[in-house]
Chain A
Amino acid sequence: MSFLKKSPWILHYDGTSCNGCDIEVLACLTPMYDVERFGIVNVGNPKHADILLITGSVNEQNTPVVKNLYRQMPEPKAVVAIGICATSGGIFQDCYNVKGGIDKVIPVDVYVPGCAARPEAIIDGVVKALGILEEKAKALKEAAHRQPVEVEESSHD
């Protein structure tokens, strides 16, 4: 029994997004979609968060920031890449300063494509991440009983 599913707290980070996806992420909090129905809260602090939502791609500038935020989240944790830029770099893929999708820097669990991603898709992505969180929690528990295993790597797509 785990309550992860009932109370996912979210950290939202904007990589180099054009703000389109950001607006859609925030739209999820509005009365129209009201994700708090599922216990989802936007906490804005990696140390409280379970799921990291990233919009936009990564580049030289924000790579250390993304890594740091990810590191500062307590286990178990999941990463959701929102929008096509976060998934693969999108149309900016070939820019000289863009590294590509988020998975170039940290392990990503769920990809939500779209330009911009629709709120329904974002909510769906978070719900998918909940299942992955659950698995990770289980794996962590087992790992605690057995030898230490690199948990993040096992669930890394």
Chain B
Amino acid sequence: MSTIDAPGGTRLMGFGEALNDALDVALQIDPTVVLLGEDIDDESTGGNFKITAGLSTKHGDHRVRTTPISEQAIVGAAIGGALGGLRPVAEIMFVDFLAVAMDQIVNHAARLRYMSGGKTPVPITIRTASAGGQGFGGQHSGMLESWFTHVPGLKVVVPASADDAKGLLLSSIFDPDPVLFIESSRLYFGNMAFGEPGGDPRRLHVEVPLGDYRVPLGKARIRREGDAVTLVTYGRQVDDATKVADRLAEEGISVELIDLRSLVPLDLETVLASAAKTRRVVIFQEAVTRSGFGGELAARITEELFDTLEVPVRRLGAPNTPVPYAANLETAYQPSAEALAAEVRETVERKARAS
């Protein structure tokens, strides 16, 4: 457990508020920072999820600019803006809509630095929201991080808590490379579905440092120390994983919980150190398991620690289906806390292989 160094003080914030604060700070400290995306200025509601609320009023609608519904034009303008000396932060409303802008993201943002021999870096940040588990159906619920971790030239960041959301977003904005920044929209509402009755939307509020607070990319966060099994996850799965780890602790199972924070760059060192210690690993992801990031991680861990591991690395993610709508189907689709607890128990209880 790390304590935050915050000489400027802290304030209790939720995930969305922390993101808003990060954007506000970035706009304040660097006149070349600009925001663009659909609905993001105050005249158009301050963003679909209100993450940019107030920013156009404060910093001007020339710097916080609402665009037409044109994902290719948004990402392209961000890329060109970066080439022309700006530090653009583009908002693509839902992860699924990245598919519309794939050419700009993959063929251009990711590759221009390399193809020009280093002459045209593209320091942009693309913020986007994943919205699984909220009844949005098949085209607004995707978690597609592995599409982008497969592309050299892109960085991929997936924050799990309000303090990290702020610190990682500021690091992303001032990073010299294109960063895809995936925000689980459930975390905007305390990991509840949008408009879900009951529950406490402030449950996940934490103290967030004020001012220019940065969390470096590529440094995993050990959310809980343990010695029986390593549980690796990121994004909103961290909240579920924390609950599972708490519950398993009561059963006497000591879980070491690692929040990756960023997938590219990947803090493999922290993961391997933990895996070498516990010798048992479970990877937990929101996305479809097949060809997902968990598979990559499992391979990397196994390549390094095949002789040390007592049992195979296990992955828990979503089944090979699009995201369904009906509440019972979507619940069954989501990799649940119960399934995770069972997976972890099984991994811990499994007999070690003969060495």
A and B form one complex: no
Q: Which residues of A contact B (CB under 8 A)?
A: none
